[in-house]
Amino acid sequence: MSVNPELRSLDIDIPAQPEALVKLSLLLAEDEINLAAAAELIESDMALAAAVMKAVNSSLYGLKGRVQSVQQAITYLGMREVAAITFEMGLRAAFPPAVELEPLWQRAALRGLLMGRLGQRLALDAWAAHSAGLFEECGKAVLFRHAPDHYRAMLRAAETDTELAMLERAGFGVSHDALGGALCESWGLALAAAASVRQHVLAQAGGPLPSQPDRRSVCALSVLAHALMQAPDTLDGCAERVAAEAGLEPTLVLRAARQAQEQLDDALQHGRRQP
């Protein structure tokens, strides 16, 4: 998918989707996903497969035994979560390593996992939700690669993403949420994921969710995940607000959020107990 001409005119390069992810996207689009073919595709890229296996065996997933292959990871975690880890690693690989970006990638993994599991519990599009969580801050990586010294100063100066977006628009003519949405579209992610990435700063600051129902629900999960990660004490009010806007049952939303957080806490605690 082509990049918005207005963004192209700013001369800010959006990285192309890695070939392995292009092929994986085609497999995931099939009605009957060929799990063996997906595992073989991931394992055919040695660097990608190694990164995926390292992530799968991290404390974030809390698996009791060490996973030895991508096929085994799919058996334990399911195709969605393994595919999401693969996309996460592919996204990271599209940008040069930088100390400033490490917290971004760590948040992405956690947010993606939370949003995917929330989507699954609420019978929403779990793959779009997981993707939206992973890619939510990717526009920051784009801007950091474009002007590292300038953007490093912006990251230090801004206390919130709302403030950061204002600095970005003043300095570059575009903010990271718009760039992130454009990257999602150019990589062929679901429109609901791209819409959530594009609107997450506004929605998390109390602004409206996207107007289309399917896109609205994924962005609602972004707001929930943000509350879980940044301000857990606001979760009750947040769940009530986004449930009303997205046409979801507030009690079910709050229960799903708490269950997702408990599951994640258990996984991380299990990981800390490992020798």
Domains of the chain in sequence order: 17-93 (no CATH), 100-275 (1.10.3210.10)
pLDDT at 99: 94
The pLDDT value given to residue 189: 94
Q: Taking Cα atoms as reference points, which of 224, 246, 248 lies closest to residue 236? A: 224
- pLDDT of 270: 61
pLDDT at 262: 86
Mean pLDDT computed over every residue of the chain:
90
Judge whether 70 and 37 are in contact, CB under 8 Å.
no
Which structure tokens are listed for 154? 């912006």
- Cα separations (Å) of 269 from 52, 266, 273? 21, 5, 6
Q: Return the pLDDT at 31.
A: 84
Total-model pTM? 0.89
* pLDDT tens-place string over residues 184-220: 999 999 999 999 999 999 999 999 999 998 899 999 9
Six token digits for residue 203: 């929605």
* Predicted pLDDT of residue 217: 96
How many CB atoms are located within 10 Å of the residue 246 CB? Answer: 23
pLDDT recorded at residue 274? 47
Question: DSSP string of 76-122?
Answer: HH-HHHHHHHHHHHHHHHTS---GGGHHHHHHHHHHHHHHHHHHHHT
How many Cα atoms occupy the beta-carbon half-sphere of 139 within 13 Å?
28
CA distances from 156 to 37, 163, 181 (A): 44, 11, 23
Give, for all 275 residues of the chain, the pLDDT tens digit. 444 555 555 668 889 999 999 999 999 989 889 999 999 999 998 888 998 898 888 888 877 778 899 999 998 889 999 999 999 999 999 999 999 999 999 999 999 999 999 999 999 999 999 999 999 999 999 999 999 999 999 999 999 999 999 999 999 999 999 999 999 999 999 999 999 999 999 999 999 999 998 899 999 999 999 999 999 899 999 999 999 999 999 999 999 999 988 877 777 676 554 44
pLDDT at 13: 85
pLDDT score for 273: 45
